[in-house]
Structure 1
Amino acid sequence: MENRDVISLISKIREKVNRFIVSEMVKYGIEGIATSHGDIIYALFRAPRLTMADISRRINKDKSTVTALVDKLVRLGYVTKERDTEDTRVVYVALTGKGRELEPIFESISQELLDVFYSDISDKEKEDLLHILKRIYGNF
């Protein structure tokens, strides 16, 4: 393997991780949600009510993409949208009861994913990997 193969390998790992997450969600009876929807749901686990702009910043996606993702989550019953009463340009998003029920499932899937991801990887190697990936991310 050459140094230039690392980008391809990272891409392949991302694909495998996404497939793993989706297949685990299906095992829990959750269908119709992509990993990009999960980013929004996770953001709402940490803050119960966010504006579309806040979500866009937190998940690093443009507002039009976030709007499409949120609209699907609304249709599936996981989130609600509400306009600000004073500034109707601002839209708030919040989890519904159905959306909040996903938290223990998502946490379980995340733990399973991490167990597979870091199988046979030492704590030192984990730290080194994270450090290197952060530096590479910062290059862009």
Structure 2
Amino acid sequence: MFDLDSCIGFMTNRQSKKLAEAFNNRLAPFGVTRVQWIAMYYLDKYKSLSQMELADKMDIKPSTLARLVDRMERDGYVQRVKNDEDRRIFLVSLTEKGEKFWKDLLPEGENMGKVFSNNISDEDMSAFMKVLNQMVRNIE
């Protein structure tokens, strides 16, 4: 008989929520969320992305991203600039304030990664990632 508590989809979703909550709690003293941290990560990595590209990288809906960028723009962390090649597209990038803030936030993600992987061997972590990736490939 089916047991939801041993269903891999339910288990990974439940544990993912716990990890996300822990990261949000770690970032709370900085006044940002993990979703904002992720957006800053990609904007630092790629320097400038269209809103659609950023939404795609973050795996969130464009409407959700628009609200996120609105808040981050209001707080002075990002800016929107019209794309010279296509005036309908806005490119998003970190402001100087956002770049400085990101430098303070980056170690929090690195430290959280260490907490998440504490007492897990590199071999076990590699196997875990391999299994997760295969599960995703199975549904694509």
Name the structure 2 match of 1:114: 113
Does the aligned pair in 2 maintain the 1:21–1:113 contact within 8 Å?
yes
Measure the CA separation in 2 of the matches of 1:106 and 1:7. 31
Structure 2, unaligned stretches of length 5 or more? none
Does the aligned pair in 1 maintain the 2:27–2:34 contact within 8 Å?
no
Aligned pairs for 1:57-76 (under 5 A) are: 57-76=56-75
Q: Which ranges of 4 or more aligned residues in structure 1 deviate by more than 4 Å?
A: none
Name the structure 1 match of 2:80: 81
Aligned pairs for 1:97-108 (under 5 A) are: 97-108=96-107
Measure the CA separation in 2 of the matches of 1:21 and 1:100. 20
Q: Which amino acid aligns with 1:21?
A: F
Name the SS for the 1:93 alignment partner: strand
Shift in Å at residue 125 of structure 1?
0.3
Name the structure 1 match of 2:132: 133
Does the aligned pair in 1 maintain the 2:39–2:58 contact within 8 Å?
yes
Structural RMSD (CA)? 2.1
Mean Cα deviation higher: 13-22 or 116-125? 13-22
TM-score (norm 1): 0.85
Does the aligned pair in 1 maintain the 2:81–2:90 contact within 8 Å?
yes
Structure 1, unaligned stretches of length 5 or more? none
**Change beyond 3 A, Cα 1:138–1:105:** farther
- What per-residue deviation string (whole Å, max 9, x for no partner) do you get for residues 36-64 of structure 1? 22221111010111111221221122222
Name the structure 2 match of 1:50: 49
TM-score (norm 2): 0.85
Measure the CA separation in 1 of the matches of 2:4 and 2:65. 37
Q: Which has the higher helix share?
A: 2
Identity of aligned residues (%): 20
Measure the CA separation in 2 of the matches of 1:139 and 1:112. 31
- What per-residue deviation string (whole Å, max 9, x for no partner) do you get for residues 67-115 of structure 1? 1111111111110111124522110111012211233333211222122
Aligned pairs for 1:5-20 (under 5 A) are: 5-20=7-22
Name the SS for the 2:86 alignment partner: coil
1:38 aligns with 2:37: yes
**Change beyond 3 A, Cα 1:50–1:2:** closer
Measure the CA separation in 2 of the matches of 1:125 and 1:46. 28
